């Protein structure tokens, strides 16, 4: 199987963390952000992640892919059932624009494979600056305000316990968002959030952005 993805995409991380944790044999393929043709050829839409099977058929939608990967017989444990994470999801959703203002302009500056060409950077910049309503330069200039908003939400967010050695469905929903915030240099994580991100990163063999944070 092939798992087409972007490194920065939280929906892609959902699939990637499950595939890695369950030891599903697969090839990771990082598409350029402006490579619309590859997406349309595979699933008829511009979205990632995309899971392609050995027969060439492919599927999209991150949670459908998670369910597919969870059903592969690898001898590894399956995901533990849903844990109630509505308060955490709601807290993060409440500061979605502030997070986007922090993450969108940083994503193109930290050496990710989906932005390996100037045209891919331009493609993403045009679309995402439109989504936040300001230029990437303006978003970076407003970093302090956006950081303060996100830090307040994190501080008020109910604590999640560590998953131990078993991945939970709730982790699939919450971890990718928290992991992406490690792009932001000196963002103040509550101790439990920092421990949670580090634990799940190690558990799933993913990576943070601490070494290149801006």
Extended strands (E) in 45-193: 50-52, 58-59
State residue 83's pLDDT score: 77
Angle at 8 between CA 4 and CA 9, to 5 degrees: 60
Tell me the CA end-to-end span of the chain in Å, nearest whole number. Answer: 34
State residue 82's pLDDT score: 81
Query: Predicted confidence band at 116 (pLDDT cuts at 50, 70, 90)?
Result: very high
What pTM, to 2 d.p., does this model score?
A: 0.95
**Residue 165, number of CB atoms within 10 A of its CB:** 9
Mention every residue, 6+ apart, whose C-beta is less than 8 A from residue 30.
4, 5, 6, 7, 113, 114
The partner residues of 27 in beta bridges, in order of sequence, read 2
Mean pLDDT of 106-126: 98
Angle at 76 between CA 71 and CA 79, to 5 degrees: 55
Ordered structural domains, the chain, with CATH: 2-70 (3.40.30.10), 86-212 (1.20.1050.10)
Count of CA atoms in the C-beta half-sphere (13 A) of 68: 21
Q: What are phi and psi of 110, to 5 degrees?
A: -115, 20
Distance CA(127)–CA(144), nearest Å, equals 23
- Beta pairing, strands 2-5 & 58-59: unpaired
Per-residue pLDDT of 149-196, as tens digits, reads 999 999 999 999 999 999 999 999 999 999 999 999 999 999 999 999
Query: Predicted confidence band at 71 (pLDDT cuts at 50, 70, 90)?
Result: very high
């Amino acid at each position: 199987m092939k798992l087409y993805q972007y490194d920065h995409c939280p929906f892609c991380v959902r699939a990637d963390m499950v595939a890695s944790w369950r030891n599903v044999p697969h090839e990771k393929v990082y598409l350029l952000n402006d490579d619309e043709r590859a997406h349309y050829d595979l699933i008829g839409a511009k979205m990632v992640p995309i899971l392609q099977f050995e027969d060439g058929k492919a599927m999209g939608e991150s949670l459908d892919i998670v369910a597919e990967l969870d059903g592969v017989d690898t001898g590894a444990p399956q995901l533990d059932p849903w844990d109630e994470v509505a308060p955490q999801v709601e807290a993060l959703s409440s500061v979605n624009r502030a997070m986007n203002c922090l993450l969108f302009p940083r994503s193109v500056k930290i050496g990710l494979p989906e932005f390996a060409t100037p045209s891919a950077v331009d493609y993403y910049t045009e679309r995402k600056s439109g989504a936040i309503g300001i230029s990437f330069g303006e978003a970076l200039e407003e970093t302090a305000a956006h950081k303060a908003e996100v830090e307040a939400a994190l501080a008020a967010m109910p604590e999640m316990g560590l998953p131990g050695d078993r991945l939970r469905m709730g982790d699939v929903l919450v971890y990718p968002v928290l992991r992406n915030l490690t792009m932001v240099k000196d963002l103040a994580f509550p101790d439990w959030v920092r421990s949670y991100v580090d634990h799940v990163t190690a558990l799933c063999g993913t990576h943070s952005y601490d070494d290149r944070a801006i």
